[in-house]
Amino acid sequence: MAHAEAPRRRLPMGPTPEQVATVLAAIAGKTLEEANVAIKQAISQRAEVRMVGRRVAGSEELERFPVTRDLRPLRANVIVSAEGLVESISNFG
Domain boundaries, the chain: 17-92
Residues 6+ apart with CB under 8 A from 76: none
What are the pLDDT digits (tens) for 14-40?
666 677 776 777 677 777 777 777 767
Task: Name the pLDDT band for 6 (thresholds 50, 70, 90).
Answer: low
pLDDT tens, 38-64? 767 766 655 433 333 344 444 444 444
Q: Is the pLDDT of residue 71 over 60?
A: no
The whole model's pTM is what? 0.29
- pLDDT-derived band at 13, boundaries 50, 70, 90: low
Q: In the predicted model, is pLDDT for residue 93 greater than 50? A: no
Q: CA Rg, the chain, in Å?
A: 18
Q: What share of the chain is helix, strand, coil (3-state, %, to 5)?
A: 50, 10, 40
Please answer whether residues 82 and 31 qualify as being in contact, where contact means their C-beta atoms are separated by less than 8 angstroms.
no
What lies within 8 Å, CB to CB, of 24 at 6+ separation is none
